Copies of this chain bind each other. A is one copy, B any other.
Amino acid sequence: MTTKCWNCTLRRLDAFVDMSDEEVRFTERFKTSEIVVEPRTTLLREGATSPQLYTVLNGLGLRYKMLPDGRRQVLSFLFPGDFVGLQAGVMGAMGHSVQASSRMTLCVFDRTRIWSVFQNRPDRAFDITWLAASDDGVLGEALTSVGQRTALESAAWLLVHLRRRAEALDLVDGDAMEVPWRQNDLADAMGLSLVHTNKTLARLRQMGLATWGDGRIVIPDMVALAVIAKVGPDLPEPRPLI
């Protein structure tokens, strides 16, 4: 049973900009189907030319790149509303792989129809570009974190980042949020070893700043954590939803 865009709860969140009825109807036609994938499913593989693009409706995942010898860099974490497969959609091949971390449900769009969006709906085309530019911003942040921050700062930054994204989507319950990611995913996102990631998280826990465990992140004081992370206010602007 696939959700009608009309009934989609996602677009009512204040994380997203409002859509006109017209836009909702158009998206509905652009959408070809809906899929549910189990944890650890690879949705898109680096180098592949996927016939499909997706919008995350539900669940969490991650994007990563691998070196030939197996080292893995996690590029970003996927949340509902994220649009994946754009590189394959416009450039022909993915620059990274995409994996589900929890069970996810995604809207499926046909890659070949993307061109018709540009022809018929300049506003939606603009939104797609907005999302691409936004991804650029996130990657820049991540690169800066990996390149310049110490392990402690980097971990703090990542937790703040995840928490802020979750907040905008109403995924936070009090101080806590549920996440499907393993410490290994965090380590690969920060460019640190698993062992040192674990010790760094332990340090944050001892400082009373953040607790990671049992699939939950608990952050009692975001301001204190943000100070460690050395991040600006970084108000998350509402994003377009495709």
Task: Please give the residue numbers on chain A whose beta carbons come within 8 Å of chain B beta carbons, in ascending order.
Answer: 65, 67-69, 71-73, 75, 86-87, 89-92, 95-96, 115, 118-119, 122-123, 125-126, 128-130, 132-137, 139-144, 146-149, 188, 190-191, 230, 232, 237
Contacts and interface: CB of A to CB of B under 8 A. Distances in A.
Contacts of A126: 90, 115, 118, 125
Question: Interface of chain A, helix or strand or loop or mixed?
Answer: helix
Contacts of A125: 118, 122, 125-126, 129
Copies of this chain assembled into the complex: 2
Contacts of A140: 65, 75, 95-96, 139
Nearest to A66: B144
Given A65-B144, A115-B126, 7 more contacts: A68-B230, A72-B148, A73-B144, A91-B133, A92-B237, A96-B140, A147-B190
Given A122-B118, A230-B69, A139 B143 contact: yes
Most buried by B among A68, A91, A128, A136: A136
B139 A136 contact: yes
Nearest to A70: B148
Nearest to A63: B140
A133 B96 CA distance: 12
A53 to B, nearest CB: 12
Contact of A141 (B95, B130, B146, B149): B95
